[in-house]
């Protein structure tokens, strides 16, 4: 089927990126570039919403799926990109000559993530991932100073290695199944006997290498080594973008690949479920423990992101242990991703405003911020409370859903580890809160912020509260999205 109207969201985003680049040549008022980008994202979101409820369809010989799962993530990526562009107002003055390229690369990376969520074939998965990654490599180095350049180089080199590992894993899976389409890979594996699968170590090795390749994208231990330096050196809006959008895209493709291609036989899904459970336990513990002594707030949130990837892997492990008809693990994972996206974006948007005034990312420099910028301090406090998992913020409901699903499927030991780690994380999150609200301010000057940034911060915080108090609507969407995997 060549129904190009089903690609309307992606085509709109690609066209918007081209228009932004062309407008950059002649426009003197660069804020129009952000406005055009937001309009393009809104139109793409409109097309995405219009497709909801249309059933599961396939494009290009089942290479791309148009289903509720893909549409859920497309909407999530569009919202994240819009909030990042709004939050970049004011910050983009640091690279005023390259604002067109900045907005276009954000749009193109979002396009790649939308394709990652929709791809149902190994080659197209790889191409979508590379479109996303190359855009992000450039964005990380946009400040062109020593830290930003170093971060971009590290991200590029380690990303290239991870990409090679992922591609080698895909090649092994193709070599032992003769297929690249996920549904056909599943059929080939189910046609093998247990002895046949066990006698094909290359197939198992391919799966493990794919876990490693995708693990880099989601910052899962032990593939997390790039996170602290990249988060610290990248422009803060791009750090926010990396921390939520790249992670969500990685989990979207992980969930589709392992559930669709390796979901049966049941013993195989139990094996990769246990693998993800072990990675979750190690990741949560390492991320939280190493975050404790951090003095730079961006590095602290970098290690926090590693720990959050561990919590998300709890949901992925639950999927491996659950039956195909049970959507608890899948829907909990999707809800957690939406909650985490709004929460972490809100935290970083507040950090953008504060750090731009202070010209520092040191936690000690945030002292007395509640008196200098009470709204920013309150917003950051709300988001940090949500990251801990305390009510009434979204993080509480997200952890409740994902942990309850794990307990129902025999992963009580993993939930106990996760709860202990949540308690550990409270120390370094609440330390920032204490510095802002209790310590004396170093200056009495106020902390100004652009109107667009305040809008982005307000939307993020309202989302955090809404998902924490009335989570039913988003959870319903997550459950609908979790019932897909037709291809």
Say how many domains are in the chain.
Answer: 1
User: What is the model's pLDDT at position 486?
Assistant: 40
Question: Could you tell me what percent of the chain has a pLDDT over 70?
Answer: 98
Contacts of 56 (CB under 8 A, 6+ apart): 65, 66, 67, 68, 484, 486, 487
Residue 487 included in any domain: no
Residue identified by tokens 């409901």 is 397
Q: For 387, phi and psi rounded to 5 degrees?
A: -65, -30
Q: pLDDT by residue (tens digit) across 156-204?
A: 999 999 999 999 999 999 998 888 898 899 888 887 777 767 777 888 8
Residue 183 included in any domain: yes
* Whether the Cβ atoms of residue 88 and residue 237 lie closer than 8 Å to each other: yes
What is the spatial distance between Cα 387 and Cα 457, in angstroms, rounded to a whole number? 16
Is residue 1's pLDDT more than 60? no
Tell me the longest C-alpha to C-alpha distance in the chain.
72
Using CA atoms, how far residue 370 sits from 59, 90, 129, 442, in Å, is: 52, 22, 41, 12
Q: Tell me which residue range forms the domain holding 427.
A: 4-482
What is the spatial distance between Cα 414 and Cα 425, in angstroms, rounded to a whole number? 16
Pick from 226-230, 380-384, 448-452, 468-472: least confident: 448-452
Residue-averaged pLDDT of the chain: 89
Nearest C-alpha neighbor of 163 from the set 210, 100, 218, 114: 210
Task: Work out the average pLDDT over 356-365.
Answer: 86
Is residue 356's pLDDT more than 90? no
Residue 140 included in any domain: yes
Q: What is the separation of C-alpha 146 from the centre of its chain, rounded to a whole number of angstroms?
A: 26
Q: pLDDT by residue (tens digit) across 120-161?
A: 899 999 999 999 999 999 999 988 888 889 999 999 999 999
User: What is the model's pLDDT at position 325?
Assistant: 67
For 44-72, letters b (16+ CB in 10 Å) and e give bbebbeebeeeeebbbeebbbbbbbbbbb
Q: pLDDT by residue (tens digit) across 270-301?
A: 889 999 999 999 999 999 999 999 999 999 99
User: What is the model's pLDDT at position 192?
Assistant: 77
Contacts of 324 (CB under 8 A, 6+ apart): 263, 264
Residue 319 vs residue 54, higher pLDDT: 319
Task: Work out the average pLDDT over 320-329.
Answer: 79
Cβ neighbours around 131 below 10 Å, total? 17
Cβ neighbours around 464 below 10 Å, total? 27
* Whether the Cβ atoms of residue 202 and residue 172 lie closer than 8 Å to each other: yes
User: What is the model's pLDDT at position 56?
Assistant: 77
Token couple for 222: 């032990």
Nearest C-alpha neighbor of 239 from the set 292, 295, 313, 300: 300
What is the spatial distance between Cα 339 and Cα 397, in angstroms, rounded to a whole number? 9
Residue 150 included in any domain: yes
What is the spatial distance between Cα 268 and Cα 320, in angstroms, rounded to a whole number? 8
Residue 394 included in any domain: yes
* Whether the Cβ atoms of residue 362 and residue 296 lie closer than 8 Å to each other: yes
Supply the pTM of this predicted model: 0.93
Contacts of 118 (CB under 8 A, 6+ apart): 64, 65, 66, 70, 74
HSE, side-chain direction, 13 A CA sphere, residue 390: 11
Token couple for 347: 């935290």
Pick from 27-36, 131-140, 380-389, 428-437: least confident: 27-36
Please give the full DSSP string across 362-380, using - where no structure is assigned.
BGGGGTTHHHH-HHHHHHH
């Amino acid at each position: 089927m060549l129904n190009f109207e089903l690609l309307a969201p992606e085509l709109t985003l690609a066209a918007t990126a081209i228009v932004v680049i062309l407008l950059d040549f002649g426009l003197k008022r660069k804020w129009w570039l952000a406005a055009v980008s937001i309009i393009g994202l809104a139109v793409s979101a409109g097309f995405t919403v219009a497709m909801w409820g249309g059933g599961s369809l396939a494009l290009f010989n089942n290479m791309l799926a148009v289903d509720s799962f893909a549409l859920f993530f497309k909407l999530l990526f569009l919202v994240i990109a819009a909030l990042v562009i709004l939050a970049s107002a004011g910050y983009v003055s640091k690279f005023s000559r390259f604002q067109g390229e900045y907005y276009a690369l954000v749009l193109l990376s979002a396009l790649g993530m939308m394709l990652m969520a929709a791809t149902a074939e190994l080659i197209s998965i790889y191409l979508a991932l590379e479109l996303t990654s190359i855009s992000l490599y450039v964005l990380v180095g946009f400040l062109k100073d020593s830290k930003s350049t170093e971060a971009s180089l590290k991200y590029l080199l380690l990303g290239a290695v991870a990409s090679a590992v992922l591609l080698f894993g895909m090649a092994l899976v193709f070599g032992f199944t003769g297929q690249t389409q996920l549904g056909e890979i599943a059929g080939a594996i189910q046609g093998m006997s247990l002895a046949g699968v066990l006698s094909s170590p290359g197939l198992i090795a391919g799966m493990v290498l794919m876990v490693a390749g995708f693990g880099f994208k989601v910052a899962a231990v032990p593939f997390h080594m790039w996170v602290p330096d990249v988060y610290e050196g990248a422009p803060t809006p791009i750090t926010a973008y990396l921390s939520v959008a790249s992670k969500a895209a990685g989990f979207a493709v992980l969930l589709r690949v392992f559930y669709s291609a390796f979901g049966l036989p049941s013993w195989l899904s139990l094996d990769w479920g246990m693998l993800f459970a072990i990675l979750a336990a190690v990741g949560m513990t390492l991320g939280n423990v190493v975050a404790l002594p951090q003095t730079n707030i961006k590095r602290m949130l970098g290690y926090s992101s590693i720990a959050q990837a561990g919590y998300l892997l709890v949901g992925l492990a639950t999927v491996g242990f659950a039956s195909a008809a049970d959507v608890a693990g899948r829907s909990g994972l999707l809800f957690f991703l939406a909650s985490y996206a709004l929460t972490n974006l809100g935290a970083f948007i507040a950090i953008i405003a504060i750090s731009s005034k202070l010209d520092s990312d040191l936690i000690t420099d945030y002292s007395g911020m509640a008196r200098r910028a009470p709204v920013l301090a309150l917003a950051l406090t709300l988001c940090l409370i949500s990251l801990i998992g305390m009510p009434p913020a979204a993080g509480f409901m997200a952890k409740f859903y994902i942990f309850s699903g794990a307990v129902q499927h025999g992963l009580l030991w993993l939930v106990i580890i996760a709860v202990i780690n949540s308690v550990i994380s409270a120390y370094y999150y609440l330390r920032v809160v204490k510095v802002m609200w209790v310590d004396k301010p170093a200056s009495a000057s106020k902390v100004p912020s652009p109107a667009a940034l305040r809008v982005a911060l307000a939307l993020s915080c309202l989302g955090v509260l809404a998902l924490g108090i009335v989570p039913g609507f988003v959870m319903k969407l997550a459950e609908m999205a979790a019932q897909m995997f037709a291809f």
